[in-house]
Each structure stands twice: as C-alpha cells, then as structure tokens.
Amino acid sequence: MTTSRHGISRGARLFSWRGGLLGACLLLVTACSSTTLVYNRLDTILPWYLGRYVDLTRSQSRAFDVGLEVILDWHRREELPRYVDFLDSVEQDLESPFTVATLESYADRAEEAWFRIRDPGLEQLLELGASLSDKQIRDFMKVMEKKQRKYERKYLDRDDEEMRDDAFENLEETLEDYLGRLNDAQSDRLRVAADELLRSDEVWLGERRAWMAALDRELEREPGWQQRVTTIVRDWEDNLDPDVQALYDRNRSIVLWAIVDVVNTRSEKQDERLRKKIADFKEDFELLISQAKASEQGQELLRNDALLRPLWIPRQELFGMIKTKALTSASAYFESFTAPGSG
C-alpha cells in the first residue's frame, strides 16, 4: 500500500462514496454533466461558491478574481495536458485485467494533482483571509458550523443498515455511470462489500469538528497565523489516531477489491461505454487546451493592434454571465467534496 507524505494512504480521501473511485481517478473535474461548460466558467462559479461562505467587499472580490484567473490559466496550460496523459494510460490499462495496484497508482496521480493545485489555492485564500474583517471571519465559521450540523443530522441519524444501503447505492450509481447498468452478479458483489464496511461517519465528523476548532483558533490571526493554517490544512492527517487510520484503510481496501471485481467482469457493452466515457473526457480536455492556446493567440493579436486595442475584452468578462442551472449543478458538485468518505 502506497503512503503519502502525510502518513495517510495515498488517495484515501479520493475514494469517497459520493465522488466514487473512478470519478476520483478522473481527477474530480468530470463529475459535472458538461466538463467544458463548467470548466470555462470556473472564474464565475468559484467566486459564487466562495460567496456562500463569506460576503466579500468589492475590492476583496476584485483581488480574489485576479488571483483566481492566474491559477486557472496555469491549470489549463499545465495541468490539463497531464490529465490527457493520465487518461491515455487508463485506456492502455483496460487492455489487461485491473488490479488493486492499478487503482492505487491512479490514486497516487490524483493526489499529486490535488497537491499541485491545493498549494497555490491555499496561498490565495490566505491572502484573502488577511483582508477579512472580524465579522467576516465569524460569519465564515458560522457557515462551517451550520454545515457540520447538517452533516451530523444527515449521517449520524442513520442506523447501520441504512449506512450500508447508502454505501451500496452510491457505489452502484457511480459504477453504472461509467459502465452502464450492472448485472445481478456485479450488484451482488457491491452489496457484499457494503455489508462488510464498518461505520466511519461519526469518526469522520469528529475529525472534521476538531479540524474546525483548530482553524477557528488560528483565525484569530495572531502573528504567524498563515503558516499555522497552512500546517493545519496540509498536515492534519499526520495526527490521525492509528485506530482511525486502520478503520479508513480497512473500508478502503474492501471498496477497492469490489471495484476491481466489477470492472474485470464488465461485458462488451459495458467496456464500450467505459471507453467512450474516457474518450469523451479526453476530447473535452483537449478542447479546453486548444481554447487556451487560441485565447492566448487572440489576446496577443488584440494587444498588439493599436486600432483594436480599445475593443479588447478580458476573458473574465466574457465568461462573467452564467445561467442559474449551471451554478446549481456546480454547487452540488463542490458540495460532494465535503461529504464523509466511507459510510
């Protein structure tokens, strides 16, 4: 089993029931109905989503937008080609039986991609945090507490049977998204796996509450608070109780083996669907990459043409308008990242 620099099995957070293993392996950007639609509007969606946690002033919003555009430009140029390379390797792996080691390698690459975008994103959020008023900080923590209570009601009120039913349904739904309808034997395999799981929702929510308490303390913003918050975000898993880690690893192993068994028993029709899904994602990423190149060329032409320069419109303004439906679907997508990872 591969272990990250945080002392937790690589990719453990990425194998959540809501996101699904395969969705994680596709680097989490494929959970939306239209990858290109949402990706091209992240400069609107992310500030909108942030606004659900804290109301920013106009100057704070402008500063955040500027920093976000830099990160998104970098991500499109540098990271999306990596995603295409990754999907190429997945296509090649489909020619042989899947193994747990194969899925572990996907998790390694997904976590590395997460680390690459997490660090610049965290740096920008810390810069924003320095500009927030005490009231904005209090409002932010109130939202966090509200979400905590929401998760506790949603997950802790379940009995063990309901937990396992939820785990089974989420696993089945995720795999059917990639493979199409599962046959009885494949569904039975997932049911067996779900029934073997031990509850971790209470443990996860307890860890989340402790994390929130640590964050709340540091958001008093005493000297050196940025570095301490960085440590909290990056290294929290180092402090996991060994029994908690063992629980997470046990459940994760059960899920990995179940997914391997289902993928390896896919029918010809399921195989065709899976390959088409991967090909569609590759096509979306390649289109996004080509749009970045075209945008850079077009903006350079406009900047160099004195006659047309007054007509140049920043890309952020071009993507500034977005329909409510797209925002709503994006909200559901981002919410999925904060749900408990294992029943």
Residue 249 and residue 155 share a domain: yes
pTM, to two decimals: 0.75
Residue 253 and residue 145 share a domain: yes
Query: What values do phi and psi take at 323, rounded to 5?
Result: -75, 155
> Could you tell me which residues come within 8 angstroms of residue 174 by beta carbon, excluding any fewer than 6 positions away?
17, 19, 20, 21, 22, 23
- The predicted-structure confidence for 226-268, as pLDDT tens digits, reads as follows 999 999 888 877 778 888 889 988 999 999 999 999 999 999 9
Q: Name which residue leads in pLDDT, 19 or 113.
A: 113
Amino acid at 217: R
- The predicted-structure confidence for 293-322, as pLDDT tens digits, reads as follows 666 554 554 444 444 343 333 333 333 333
Residue 139 and residue 247 share a domain: yes
Residue 308 domain flag: yes
Residue 245 domain flag: yes
Average of per-residue pLDDT across 92-104? 93
**Structural domain total, the chain:** 2
The three-state secondary structure class of 245 is: helix
Confidence grade of residue 18 (pLDDT, cut at 50, 70, 90): very low
pLDDT of residue 47: 86
Of 112, 93, 111, 91, the C-alpha closest to 101 is: 93
